[in-house]
Structure 1
């Protein structure tokens, strides 16, 4: 059982306030008493209750990272980089997974309302809820959005330009001579996925080509969905010559289905995936990917939040970053 400040006070025969002053190097404690208290703290490996101490001074040195999708490798990479940035300035994170459930998100918002954390970073998710919008109007609730939108954006935000990312992928495939490009994406009602679809339309329109709706396929975000998407697309009237998958796990399933069907990449189908991580790195041939700048998204969001906490951010800040297209063998036309 962890020793408390009250335990040290009892063993030293002094008041708890005296122990607190000694441990925090405050005046008003004799040298002999201070030495005795410090020795006891060291002997019993005393660690202060950070939350309790934080509540007393309205500061906890903890932030909540509220994640909409735990199964997204890209989101996890952002979380890891936020944690790294936080540790560098002696902050800790509390990770909260909502699984896109607004009721769960509301329960996690209580951490912010009760001052149990100094601020919150929201990663991904549906359109900002009324509860979250209400909290944003109170200065005591510092918060930053990462890849999440609001109808009226009162939030400091760091966003990925998903539309521009997919535009670049389609443009690259056009340059390689591919014209019938299938887009395997998420729900069209999902804000980030709808942005990716917009980028697809824009690239086709500006190139002077018409879009075949049968080449846009909305599916789940898991590996099996990517696999099944390929099978279903191959049963449609138009057979693509290239694929763009907008999420990491569907990309894995897509590639598996292509190979299991006896086809070759890029000889039969070119493929552009999403996310440059351990999952996509093991694909053969080496996979062309759109890679989100996770480290920069994390650093900017944490820096913004820290400034909000310290009341040093001048006005609302919105930063938009563009994914990098990393070209590898999977999208290079054999006879181009």
Structure 2
């Protein structure tokens, strides 16, 4: 329709070689007339790349996760890449299915928030990954992949030390699944804060909230109904904090008068709670941006020879939810 060769059409649309303004206008007029759109699949087969990065999340409902994804999408877009997003929902079976899906759709590389742990799990992930990958938020012991994480132990230690400074000695913690690196690091920070203050760790004050609202709600009710309830509560992620605060409200307790609370992960709703929640804020923009940059380094012409781990620092955001205990 344009009356030119396919090479000229390609040059006019892609700018791959000089084309006169008159020819460009003829090609674009033909494009508009026939409604032509490039075939992305055909392009990817020819070039050997899709310009698409796979992103496999642990839990898409977590506000921390969506904030990281926002930064990832912006960083990928700036480098000419798109994201294909999958959600494992904290399930290793779904994670394996989604890894297969990303391979089928020829993602150039994968950013993975892993949901499992242990030697067998790491080996299974290694077998499922046949392209460059970066771990995000969590690591897998023994798996030599680039990773971007946050110093969870330090963040939790700062928050629990803040509660101790208010005079709290019975501080309970809602932890994530044992074995998951982010959960283990935060629990270690809780115990370190107690040890630093000369306080004994009471196993009865440690509960598994599974990084979810429902289990955290049930665990909080159990803690608050105990013969010796805690005077302060720390949730190791924001979803558990929501479940925790629901339970505190249902028990009719005044916060921070009857109970001080804080959580890992800052999020917009923290300002909406009454009282406003004291939190440990993660650098979500830096996490997302650095993960994309590490992956694109792997996709470049001269990728690094060893695995790299970036450990970013959190910060304590002090608001209104911690005060001296009444009892």
Smaller-chain TM-score bracket: 0.7 to 0.9
Q: Distance in 2 between matches of 1:227 and 1:147?
A: 24
Quote the residue 2:320 is aligned against. 329
Quote the residue 2:113 is aligned against. 123
Conserved? CA contact 1:162–1:196, under 8 Å: yes
Report matched runs for 1:77-92 at 5 Å: 77-92=67-82
Deviates most, 40-49 or 293-302: 40-49
Quote the residue 2:311 is aligned against. 320
- Tell me the SS of whatever aligns to 2:98: helix
Report matched runs for 1:91-106 at 5 Å: 91-106=81-96
Specify which of 124, 133, 139 is matched with residue 126 of structure 2. 133
**1:181–1:96 CA distance, 2 compared to 1 (3 A):** same
- Tell me the SS of whatever aligns to 1:331: coil
Report matched runs for 1:291-302 at 5 Å: 291-302=281-292
Specify which of 275, 279, 298 is matched with residue 308 of structure 1. 298
Quote the residue 1:149 is aligned against. 139
How much does 1:155 deviate? 0.6
How much does 1:163 deviate? 1.7
Specify which of 55, 60, 64 is matched with residue 50 of structure 2. 60
Q: Distance in 2 between matches of 1:255 and 1:104?
A: 30
**1:31–1:276 CA distance, 2 compared to 1 (3 A):** closer
Quote the residue 1:232 is aligned against. 222
Conserved? CA contact 1:102–1:129, under 8 Å: no
Q: Does 1:215 align with 2:205?
A: yes
- Tell me the SS of whatever aligns to 2:61: coil
Conserved? CA contact 2:100–2:128, under 8 Å: no
Report matched runs for 1:28-47 at 5 Å: 35-47=25-37
Unaligned runs of 5+ in 2: none
Residue by residue over 1:39-58, the C-alpha shift from the partner in whole angstroms, topping out at 9 and shown as x without a partner, is: 11134453312332122111
Unaligned runs of 5+ in 1: 1-10
Specify which of 243, 258, 268 is matched with residue 268 of structure 1. 258
- Tell me the SS of whatever aligns to 1:332: coil
Residue by residue over 1:61-86, the C-alpha shift from the partner in whole angstroms, topping out at 9 and shown as x without a partner, is: 11111112122211121111100111
**1:33–1:283 CA distance, 2 compared to 1 (3 A):** closer
Q: Distance in 2 between matches of 1:28 and 1:248?
A: 54
**1:88–1:171 CA distance, 2 compared to 1 (3 A):** same
**1:289–1:34 CA distance, 2 compared to 1 (3 A):** closer
Q: TM-score, normalised by structure 2?
A: 0.88
Q: TM-score, normalised by structure 1?
A: 0.85
Q: Does 1:205 align with 2:198?
A: no
Conserved? CA contact 1:304–1:313, under 8 Å: no
Q: Distance in 2 between matches of 1:278 and 1:300?
A: 23
Q: Distance in 2 between matches of 1:149 and 1:72?
A: 18
**1:291–1:126 CA distance, 2 compared to 1 (3 A):** same
